[in-house]
Amino acid sequence: MNKEWEMVIGLEVHVELSTKSKIFCSCTTEFGGEPNTHCCPVCMGMPGTLPVLNKKVLESAISAGLALNCEIEREPRFDRKNYFYPDLPKAYQISQLYKPIAHDGYVEILVNDNVKKIRIHEMHMEEDAGKLIHSDFDNETYPDYNRCGVPLLEIVSEPDFRSAEEVSAYLDKIRALFTYLEISDCKMQEGSMRADVNLSVRRKGEKTLGTRTEMKNINSIKAIERAIENEADRQVDLLLSGERVVQETRHWNDDKRFSYAMRSKENAQDYRYFPEPDIPPMIVTDEMVGDIRNNLPEFMEAKKERFMKQYGLSEYDAGLLVLNKKQAEFFEVVVSEGVEAKAIANWLIGYFSRSLRENNLEFEDLDISPVELSKLITYVEEGKVNRKEGLEILDNIIKGCGPEDVEKYIKDNDLFVSTDNSELEAEIDNVLSNNQKVVDEYKSGKEKVIGFLVGQVMKNGKGKFNPSNVKTIMEKKLKGEV
């Protein structure tokens, strides 16, 4: 971006709450499902039905508000936002305008080693809409109301961002806070976290804000970064060439890396907000807020600091471990089983994440007994089981087909490294006598070939032998020392 200019960005982030049931009825919030199977007369807005607030949504919203350092509204209310669209069966969305559940908060983000405060204007609860499915087969559009009534939080920031990096740091931060609260899985790809970017540009040093555009529903952080860079450049180019920025909603096409205007905000809809008469104002008591505050989890930064202090981990290791709350908790359980912290940290950061990636899984998908895993790690780290075999077992565990009883499995498959050297020596002798040609090569000075011989022993031993032990004894034998 042109160095004389700066971008000014405000974000509206929508987060789907992972409550079991919807915000105003008892239908499941589960993602997917055949169209129109996760709905009832209430979430389909049939005439005569009434909404009844799911208390869990209010609790989640309060905990989110506290995590975002907000003031919690004590008499929050719902309002109706009226607009016609076939995916909105009541033709109004129950949302909050006049008395949102939380307001005037902030989060701190870390960009280029500087801490920056991003102010939160307000955060409110609302219901999601359904979606329209266009069928090319018969050229008709069909509504799917499964998503109608899935609870959402919308977090509206102040226009405090000055770069794409700040925006992605903020989104990471919100995801970290909300996944730590276990109120949302914040998956942008599945749409459980969505961001609308309001962006304007101005010459550095200017105080007034330029005309902004809005980009809606971009579905990955990388794409948001690209969209921001592109839009900021587009606006600067426009202004430099004497044109003006039009206030409008633009759609970002991430494949083609360009945006186009969707609708002009100048003839913006009038949503005719008014207080939702079907839901009386809620009462949020001090006790309620106090209880929720007392039960807030240890958040990412605090956990990272503690891991460094308590377990002597490097900032890098601790930082990676706490990225995922489940992983961090698992780490501590395994440590409590007596495994050395650094060892389990290496396993989680290294082997685990590789295996998860290869198998296209998430840590949350795993169903692993920390006790069994502790045994496995201990055996490998103490040399009782070879790393190769250990990691094969781990891979199977991660895939969900691992042994229930690690010790029994290792025993049954004879995978414990043999402590009986006579067995090893016999196997070495066997390999040496069957590979006279290679032995001769070794003796003629091509010492590298020992790798092949060790490999043969290891192969025949099926994990029973320790490779360095094999090498030591074999070297001695080849040199005639024993």
Can you tell me which of 270, 287, 404, 481 binds another protein, judged by CB under 8 A?
Answer: 270
Q: Contacts with another protein in 134-153 (CB under 8 A)?
A: 141, 143
Q: Looking at 38-46, 188-196, 342-350, 383-391, which segment touches another protein (CB under 8 A)?
A: 38-46
C-alpha torsion sign, points 295, 300, 301, 304? positive
Q: Looking at 41-49, 226-234, 314-322, 412-420, which segment touches another protein (CB under 8 A)?
A: 41-49
Is 47 a binding residue for another protein by CB under 8 A? The answer is yes
- Closest to 251 measured CA to CA, from 199, 214, 295: 214
Can you tell me which of 33, 41, 290, 350 binds another protein, judged by CB under 8 A?
Answer: 41
Is 353 a binding residue for another protein by CB under 8 A? The answer is no
- Closest to 215 measured CA to CA, from 149, 275, 259: 259
Can you tell me which of 10, 51, 105, 402 binds another protein, judged by CB under 8 A?
Answer: 51
Q: Are the CB atoms for 464 and 415 separated by under 8 Å?
A: yes
Q: Contacts with another protein in 397-456 (CB under 8 A)?
A: none
Cα dist from 39 to 28, 45, 73, 310, whole Å: 8, 10, 31, 48
Can you tell me which of 90, 99, 194, 464 binds another protein, judged by CB under 8 A?
Answer: 90
Q: Which amino acid is at 327?
A: Q
- Closest to 102 measured CA to CA, from 80, 124, 119: 124
List CB contacts of 261: < 8 A, sequence separation 6 or more.
246, 248, 249, 250, 251
Count of residues that bind another protein according to CB under 8 A = 29
- Least distance CB 145 / another protein (angstroms): 9
Is 277 a binding residue for another protein by CB under 8 A? The answer is yes
Q: Looking at 44-52, 283-291, 308-316, 422-430, which segment touches another protein (CB under 8 A)?
A: 44-52
- Closest to 366 measured CA to CA, from 338, 415, 319, 331: 331
Is 263 a binding residue for another protein by CB under 8 A? The answer is no
Smaller CB separation from another protein, 59 or 185: 59
Q: Are the CB atoms for 80 and 95 separated by under 8 Å?
A: yes
- Least distance CB 247 / another protein (angstroms): 16
Is 247 a binding residue for another protein by CB under 8 A? The answer is no
The 8-class DSSP code of residue 401 comes to -
- Closest to 6 measured CA to CA, from 195, 171, 207, 157: 207
- Least distance CB 136 / another protein (angstroms): 17
- Least distance CB 193 / another protein (angstroms): 28
Bridge partners for 108 per DSSP = 117
Residue 292, number of CB atoms within 10 A of its CB: 21
Please tell me the distance from the alpha carbon of residue 37 to that of residue 274, in angstroms, as a whole number.
31
Is 86 a binding residue for another protein by CB under 8 A? The answer is yes
Is 7 a binding residue for another protein by CB under 8 A? The answer is no
Can you tell me which of 260, 274, 316, 452 binds another protein, judged by CB under 8 A?
Answer: 274
- Closest to 94 measured CA to CA, from 140, 54, 132, 146: 54
Can you tell me which of 10, 45, 402, 463 binds another protein, judged by CB under 8 A?
Answer: 45
> What are the E-state strand segments in 138-192?
140-144, 151-157
Can you tell me which of 12, 28, 31, 53 binds another protein, judged by CB under 8 A?
Answer: 53
- Closest to 11 measured CA to CA, from 229, 271, 191, 215: 215
> What are the E-state strand segments in 231-336?
248-253, 258-264, 274-275
Is 290 a binding residue for another protein by CB under 8 A? The answer is no
Smaller CB separation from another protein, 85 or 260: 85
- In this structure, the strands spanning 248-253 and 213-218 are parallel
Residue 26, number of CB atoms within 10 A of its CB: 12
Is 80 a binding residue for another protein by CB under 8 A? The answer is yes
Smaller CB separation from another protein, 50 or 401: 50
Smaller CB separation from another protein, 46 or 209: 46
Cα dist from 318 to 180, 302, 313, 325, 451, whole Å: 16, 11, 6, 12, 37
- Least distance CB 276 / another protein (angstroms): 8
| Binding flags for another protein, 97-136, as an x/- string (CB under 8 A) | ----------------------------------------
- Least distance CB 292 / another protein (angstroms): 22
Can you tell me which of 108, 206, 278, 358 binds another protein, judged by CB under 8 A?
Answer: 278
- Least distance CB 188 / another protein (angstroms): 28
Using CB under 8 A, list all residues that contact another protein.
41, 44-53, 80, 82, 84, 86, 89-92, 141, 143, 270, 272-274, 277-280
